Amino acid sequence: MKKVKDVMAEDVVTADHAMPAATAAKLMLEEGIGCLVVMKENKIAGIVTDRDLLTCVTEKHNMQECSIANHMSSPVVTVPPDTLLLNLAKVMAARQIKRVPVSQGGGLLGIISFSDIADDMDGQVADMWSEWLELIAVTKTSAQHRRGRRTDKQIESRVRAPAHIHP
């Protein structure tokens, strides 16, 4: 069974936490990547994706001045290089995260993504992975149903309220 260090990408693009969002967006474009590992004083502070930076636009911030620290996911889950891929897959599935920086003793060694793991899986593990994904899909669907029902009830009670006031 392979370990994280066997399939991780070793060249990680990092950015200082004070980097403006506009600079980070440009860096992602130039590097052809969708995320940056955010560093603060040589430690991993978080992870910022292209989607995270979109909120800088939708919230009408000044992208030249707003730092990526305002939009990063933090704290970030990191994984030691000797972790078994299957164990990481379980954590990623449970927490619904797609990318995890690889770290030991606080230093950044690489980054591993959902697709790095999926690409490397043999049939048996891939089956297990698809079961995990189905499980997530089922959980999400039922959560949405629950939310939907709650909303319906709220609307019903709002509609009924005047009837109670004027019986």
How far apart are the C-alpha atoms of 42 and 40, rounded to whole Å? 5
Residue 48 or 109: the one with the smaller Cβ distance to Zn ion is 48
DSSP symbol at 69? G
Q: Which of 61, 79, 109, 110 binds Zn ion (CB under 5 A)?
A: 61
**Percent helix, strand and coil across the chain, each rounded to 5?**
55, 20, 25
97 binds Zn ion (CB under 5 A): no
99 binds Zn ion (CB under 5 A): no
Binding mask 15-54 for Zn ion (x = CB under 5 A): ----------------------------------------
CB of 34 to Zn ion, least distance (A): 18
CA angle, residues 12, 120, 101, in degrees to nearest 5 = 25
CB of 36 to Zn ion, least distance (A): 14
Find where tokens 């130039």 sit.
30
Q: Which of 12, 24, 28, 56 binds Zn ion (CB under 5 A)?
A: 56
Q: Are 4 and 80 in contact (CB under 8 A)?
A: yes
- For residue 101, say if its preceding peptide bond is cis, omega within 30 degrees of 0: no
Q: Which of 66, 77, 93, 126 binds Zn ion (CB under 5 A)?
A: 66
Indicate the helix (H) or strand (E) that contains 46.
strand 43-49
Judged by CB under 5 A, which stretch of 23-31, 67-75, 124-132, 157-165 contacts Zn ion? 67-75
Residues lying near Zn ion in the complex (CB under 5 A) are found at 56, 61, 66, 70
